[in-house]
Amino acid sequence: SDLQKQEERGELLQPLIFVLLVLCSVLLYFKVSLMDPGFVKPEEEEGENKGQGVVIPQIPGDIKLRRCGYCLVKQPMRAKHCQLCQHCVRRYDHHCPWLENCVGERNHPLFIVYLSVQLVVLLWGGQVAWSGLYFEQSWEWLQRNIFLLVSFLLIFIFTIVVLLLLVSHLYLISCNTTTWEFMSHHRISYLRHSELENPFDQGIILNLWRFFC
């Protein structure tokens, strides 16, 4: 049959892989949006604070960890209170409105994986949409292909957004800094009073290794 011939030629494998990638993207979305991004809990204060001087020896000793004015926990280094989540988040990066959750210490690596899978799905979908187009200068052609044209335009826009987001995050990760630290460097006490511009930077390879592994 035609189905068996397509299977023998491997033509059914690509749609299957595409569907699995879409499913993986959806599962990653829910995983990142629903998981704990690294909320600071009161019982963890003492353990968190003890290790700060060991991990970051370049931070001046006169900078004291402050107590959050909202949830009243003692903030570890690099933590920030998110008013939307009503929690302090360890290694706070940003609050993502698309996920309705913070991106922090625990879910940041999965967030990067999600963006990568989403980019592959968008590029693949864009290629499929483009391959279905054949251009003619007629009103009938436009009516027949309006759905494909709109789909390709939307995929193109989302692809640019996801690509820029992924590249910017990978750059910040390679420097061992967060979006919040990058945007608010002059307002953060442990960065403003540090002798180094970025006291957390340990080189690109070690930064990537510590983040993903």
For residue 31, pLDDT over 90 is answered with yes
* pLDDT tens sequence across 85-118: 999 999 999 999 999 999 999 999 999 999 999 9
Q: What is the pLDDT of residue 122?
A: 95
Three-class SS state of 42: helix
202 within 8 A of 176, measured Cβ to Cβ: yes
| Residue at 172: amino acid letter | L
47 within 8 A of 73, measured Cβ to Cβ: no
Q: What is the pLDDT of residue 63?
A: 57
Q: What is the pTM of this model?
A: 0.82
- Residue among 68, 96, 102, 175 flagged as catalytic: 96
List the beta bridge partners of residue 118: none
Q: What is the pLDDT of residue 71?
A: 85
Q: Is 80 exposed, middle or buried (0-12, 13-18, 19+ CB in 10 A)?
A: buried
Residue 46: count of CB within 10 angstroms of its CB: 9
Query: Distance between CA 154 and CA 47 in Å, rounded?
Result: 47
* pLDDT tens sequence across 50-97: 444 434 445 555 556 678 888 888 888 899 999 999 999 999 999 999
Q: What is the dihedral of CA 49, 50, 53, 55, to 10 degrees?
A: -90
Q: What is the pLDDT of residue 77?
A: 87
Half-sphere exposure of 42 (CA within 13 A, CB side): 4
List the beta bridge partners of residue 43: none
Query: Distance between CA 75 and CA 31 in Å, rounded?
Result: 25
User: For the residues 17-43, what does the mean pLDDT come to?
Assistant: 93
Query: Quick check: is 96 catalytic?
Result: yes
